[in-house]
Structure formats: structure tokens, C-alpha cells
Amino acid sequence: SCTLIRGSYKMMYDVGCPELDGREYIELNNIDADPEEMKDMSSTKPGITNEMLQTIKAKLAEGTSRIYK
């Protein structure tokens, strides 16, 4: 699993764990407005969600390419 914090937004991302049956888990929270992280905003903030998800996936791909070279 990975976490990315950008400004007041925090994204949690996971993929590949058996509990998810191969699906992705994405959660976006506004940690200033919702410090207990009770409200997932990933569906209501698609622009921020996509931007942060692409950043996470790029970093994961970068790290994987270093491991398997």
C-alpha cells in the first residue's frame, strides 16, 4: 500500500492484496476538513484523485523498474 499527501489531501492506494481480489483500493481524504478520515472523497474530487493516483503509479513504476533491471 502507498500513501501520498499533497496539501490538505491524503490518498491511500493499494492493489494486489488477496482481500481485494486484484482490484485497486483508492481513498482520498481532506485531512484538514476531516482529520478522522471518515469521508472518502475520491468520487467527488475526480481531478485531484486522478492527479494523485497518476503520481503514485509513476513512482511505483519507477521503483519497480529499478528493482528488476
Place of cell 500513501: 3
pLDDT in tens, 26-45: 999 999 999 999 999 999 99
Q: Where are the beta strands (DSSP E) in the chain?
A: 2-6, 9-15, 24-30
Whole-model pTM: value is 0.84
Mean pLDDT (the chain, rounded): 89
